[in-house]
Chain A
């Protein structure tokens, strides 16, 4: 999805391992979001950032940390991965009240 780049696209972790999911935008917007998508559960907000240097918890923040060191990048970190964190993770960018969110293409994470 143009404007929001997520890496990696796929990842398999062992329980207890850590990793950072990266999200970068080239659209110069302030608000960025991390969602997880699970079958039958829709999209649930993990963390969001209204601007550079600020972050706040969403609906399901436990087990995650985030970092917004600059306007362009918003990363999501799993310190000690658990099988319950197996999911598809989407980064999103709010592009304005009329245009809603622009989503990245997602990271499919499996924790074994």
Chain B
């Protein structure tokens, strides 16, 4: 059973566009929702994270929108750049205890010049 569903699998935008990646979760006990960015040949790196007590969080050009009632959250990249081309993973976990992260399947983003 896939606990975090991510879409789309791949996304191509032009420089300056606003790619949006969506995730949906099933377990209402999840209380921590990070996004990771991965470049080819590298390990994933934490990009931004949100907790369910807020509906939006911004860090630079990256914004997470969170809809607790719909059990959905999304990543928006404002003014996207070719350097943003990477694979993005959403994830979820329950804070406290082992805090295992459950990942979505990833979205490969390509930003064309």
Contact = CB atoms under 8 A, between A and B. Distances in A.
Chain A contact patch, size range: 20 to 34
B42 A45 contact: no
Contacts of B9: 40
Interface in A20-70: 31, 33, 35, 40-45, 48, 50, 56, 58
Interface secondary structure of A, over-half rule? strand
Contacts, number: 64
A1 interface: yes
Given A1-B42, A97-B32, A99-B46, A42 B98 contact: no
B42 A90 contact: no
Interface of A: 1, 4, 31, 33, 35, 40-45, 48, 50, 56, 58, 90, 92, 94, 97-106
A99 B36 CA distance: 11
Interface of B: 6, 9, 32, 34, 36, 41-46, 49, 89, 95, 97-106
Contact of A90 (B41, B43, B46): B43
19 contacts: A1-B42, A1-B45, A4-B43, A40-B9, A41-B105, A42-B104, A43-B89, A43-B103, A45-B101, A45-B102, A90-B43, A97-B32, A99-B46, A100-B101, A101-B34, A101-B36, A103-B44, A105-B41, A106-B42
